[in-house]
Structure 1
Amino acid sequence: MPSARRAPPVSEASEPAGHDGIRVLKKYPNRRLYDTRASSYITLADVKKMVLDGQEFEVRDAKTSEDLTRSILLQIILEEETGGMPMFTSRMLAQIIRFYGHAMQGMMGAYLEKNLQTFVELQSRLGEQARGLYDPKAFTPEMWAQFMSGQAPLMQGLMGNYLEQSKNLFMQMQEQIGKPGTTLFPGFTPPSSRK
């Protein structure tokens, strides 16, 4: 829910929505975020709610129009990681940092994104299977026992698919590296092609 509603600054009163109807948030030098659709200032918690609700948005610098969306999303992740239960271990974060500047940086980003998408799909399928359990009137101990007995094969199948997709993505990365003419390592000429 947006905090303190205000009239939009004059320069934003007639501003159109972002391209393709994407919600535009403007970030001002005083660190405040302004939602051009709702004509009000919002907090980082409001932006987090937009993410959780699946709303598409972009954050733009109010003066330069530079895209700051990733920066704001990283701020939300930082807040989540420093409070409560972190998702990333120090070891995992160190491994991610090591890929910056590495020739595999772009491929690793795509690999992680595809794996995360596969995991989200896995979670969605499990949610569909368990939907009846969330209705207190429909839930019985027998239903719970039946659900749990069916989960082992389901989980095995879903995890098998997940691991297979992960393996295929890794194999595609290896094939990309092995393709002739691939500029994975700019300036490097393999010894076999030198004269």
Structure 2
Amino acid sequence: MAEQSRLIKKYPNRRLYDTRTSTYITLADVKDLVLRHENFRVADARTGEDLTRCILLQIILDEEMAGIPMLSSELLSQMIRSHGNAMQDMMGKYLESNVRAFTEMQARQ
């Protein structure tokens, strides 16, 4: 039987609660889940709204601020410009496809 996705609840006080371990966790813990390829979903504790993307973006922001940035200002500007226009969906799929290909290439080396 396939393992269910781990549910993490985000409370109004910005704390994250892992329902599998019944403990509060940090963004660093969520990053570790990503690095271990564990499936999870972050939901607003009150509304159930899916906040997974917001949490992942927050982790990327923290990483970008802490070290040598992966995303240039020019790339970020282009991404902002593509939001809301007809190319938004295509841009997202293009980036996802190319990052997947890059990751697969790295794994083969």
| In structure 2, C-alpha distance between the alignment counterparts of 1:22 and 1:52, rounded to whole Å | 15
Residue identity (%): 62
Q: Which 5+ residue runs of structure 2 have no aligned equivalent?
A: none
TM-score (norm 2): 0.96
Aligned pairs, how many? Answer: 107
Q: Which residue number corresponds to residue 48 of structure 1?
A: 31
Q: Which residue number corresponds to residue 74 of structure 1?
A: 57
CA RMSD after TM alignment: 0.8
* CA deviation profile, 1:76-103 (whole Å, cap 9, x unmatched): 0000001111101111110111100110
| In structure 1, C-alpha distance between the alignment counterparts of 2:81 and 2:42, rounded to whole Å | 28
Q: Which residue number corresponds to residue 6 of structure 2?
A: 23
Matched, 1:101 2:101: no
Matched, 1:124 2:107: yes
1:100 partner amino acid: H
| In structure 1, C-alpha distance between the alignment counterparts of 2:37 and 2:68, rounded to whole Å | 22
Ranked by relative contact order (alpha carbons within 8 Å, sequence separation 6 or more), the top structure is 2
| In structure 2, C-alpha distance between the alignment counterparts of 1:64 and 1:97, rounded to whole Å | 28
| In structure 1, C-alpha distance between the alignment counterparts of 2:72 and 2:93, rounded to whole Å | 21
* Runs of 4+ residues deviating >4 angstroms: none
| 3-state DSSP of counterpart to 2:58 | helix
TM-score (norm 1): 0.54
Q: Which 5+ residue runs of structure 1 have no aligned equivalent?
A: 1-19, 127-195
Greater radius of gyration (CA): 1
| In structure 2, C-alpha distance between the alignment counterparts of 1:82 and 1:109, rounded to whole Å | 23
| In structure 2, C-alpha distance between the alignment counterparts of 1:115 and 1:89, rounded to whole Å | 17
Q: Which residue number corresponds to residue 45 of structure 2?
A: 62
* CA deviation profile, 1:100-125 (whole Å, cap 9, x unmatched): 01101001111110111100110001
